[in-house]
Structure 1
């Protein structure tokens, strides 16, 4: 094969592999974050723990649990005429409870239990026996009831403590989510491996490896920037799709906490890609400056004087 054709073929194949590598960068980061970040109970609980101090989250929980307690009171005790009198005490008690160490402990344990339940349903569930994944709010109600009783709030001792289950995943969606989760766990490992393999192969095959390395680095930075943009757009769409009764600031705080690691990884990709591209460009300039401008002069043989020939 002629050298010119071989060079063009290598350059074309290198460009294709580099393009695939850069396209896989944002998807690799996203799948790895979901498979090894969200799917790990310990990391999930650690990520959610600071939200127990967030005022928007605490206010949303106070409203949700307080309304649930009042609904139980109305349903079982039929005291609607005194709702306006009791409701402020209930909500104040729940709000006060969210500022205690007991609430932070309950928050962490509740997140751990909910995460374990979701993972168990996604990994070990049976389509024929699928049930909704729920979390029980009865322990929170019991602690609020005890606090109201200590404060001598009227009718506090009669507040029913029922096993109030809040659905996390509906049963009809479990089959579809389980298949998606299986794909995600596989992609979380193989997509990053494929991205690195394509990048290495593209650089190795390139006729000009310095140029291929620069293109790969810039493509990586672009992939990270697109992922940052996707996270911002996803946050806006998530908040826009919420019902009016759901606290938008609280959901925004949860979204930011869950995506913090992915957002950091995205910015690392941007910084790393731009740094490698800049270093490659600078080393190329230094190399060109040190290289002589023209071909080195070759030494010419000195002419020898004619020798006299004696007759």
Structure 2
């Protein structure tokens, strides 16, 4: 009876471990990415700094400059209409300046530290009046003085606008905290767990080559599925962002951030193909 019980239990455990290894593979890749992006400020800044060079982001920042300047002063509608054209020309030129790229990188660094502080529950972390993590980009734009002086505007707030980009709404912070906690604790270990489950499934299986082959095939589908999900999910994910400026930034950041996951998916597919070829060659050799 003991032998029969063991003969039944081992295949069941092998099956469960194999299924978990397949299902958890794409999730483990996302977990690693999240642990790197959410917990490491330097990586976060390096990954998203190039976003500021995207044309659509520069256009969105120029809109923010115009809105910020006009919002800092009180002008007649007719004056605003006349001023908006020259102001937009200045803003479009300024946002392509290296000074803005430097301010962008500094704002990213400060925002990520603030974001981590919120997720870790530190009381000294500040939010805006609506409880959001907001990215603040202070800009020094001497070129504005000439344009604004034509209509008698000398307000420092208009000459030195600070762009405010809300990134995380208060309603999303609870979810973000849970994701951060999991990513921080288990993110880097997730692929190790997947590999351990695959090895355990193969070790307990009666037909090890077949088990390895099915796991490899599942990983192949998982890698392809993750890459497909990244491509198909881009538009729906960006549509969830309500703020126009933030939506533009999120779209550009999505493309850059997804690069790592595409590469990870390619590695998973490559490993799967190697395993499948190895199983096929081993099977032929044994038949001979």
Q: What TM bracket, shorter-length normalisation?
A: 0.7 to 0.9
Q: Which residue of 2 aligns with 1:16?
A: 16
Structure with the greater alpha carbon radius of gyration: 1
- Describe the SS at the equivalent of 2:269: helix
Q: Which residue of 1 aligns with 2:143?
A: 147
Q: Which residue of 1 aligns with 2:35?
A: 35
Match among 81, 85, 95 for residue 84 of structure 1: 81
Aligned mates of 1:246, 1:95 — CA distance in 2: 15
- Once the 2 structures are TM-superposed, how far is the Cα of residue 157 of structure 1 from its aligned partner? 5.6
- Once the 2 structures are TM-superposed, how far is the Cα of residue 13 of structure 1 from its aligned partner? 2.6
Change (3 A) 1:278 1:11: same
Change (3 A) 1:149 1:212: same
Q: Contact 2:35–2:187 (CA<8 Å) still a contact in 1?
A: yes
Change (3 A) 1:80 1:68: same
Mapping for residues 228-307 of structure 1, pairs under 5 Å: 228-243=227-242, 245-246=244-245, 250-289=249-288
Change (3 A) 1:24 1:151: same
Q: Contact 1:149–1:156 (CA<8 Å) still a contact in 2?
A: no
- Which string of whole-angstrom CA distances, capped at 9 and with x for unpartnered residues, describes residues 254-303 of structure 1? 211122111211121122112211222123213322xxxxxxxxxxxxxx
Q: Contact 1:148–1:156 (CA<8 Å) still a contact in 2?
A: no
Q: Which residue of 2 aligns with 1:183?
A: 182
Aligned mates of 1:29, 1:3 — CA distance in 2: 39
- Describe the SS at the equivalent of 1:158: coil
Question: Could you tell me the TM-score, scaled by structure 2's length?
Answer: 0.85
Q: Which residue of 2 aligns with 1:94?
A: 91
Which stretch has the larger CA shift, 230-239 or 181-190?
181-190
Which stretch has the larger CA shift, 195-204 or 167-176?
167-176
Aligned mates of 1:39, 1:197 — CA distance in 2: 25
Which stretch has the larger CA shift, 215-224 or 19-28?
215-224
Structure 1 gap segments, 5+ residues each: 290-311
Change (3 A) 1:175 1:253: closer
- Once the 2 structures are TM-superposed, how far is the Cα of residue 82 of structure 1 from its aligned partner? 0.9
Structure 2 gap segments, 5+ residues each: none
Question: Could you tell me the TM-score, scaled by structure 1's length?
Answer: 0.79
- Describe the SS at the equivalent of 1:167: strand
Q: Contact 1:136–1:164 (CA<8 Å) still a contact in 2?
A: yes
Whether 1:66 and 2:63 are equivalent positions in the alignment is no
Q: Which residue of 2 aligns with 1:297?
A: none
Q: Contact 2:86–2:147 (CA<8 Å) still a contact in 1?
A: no
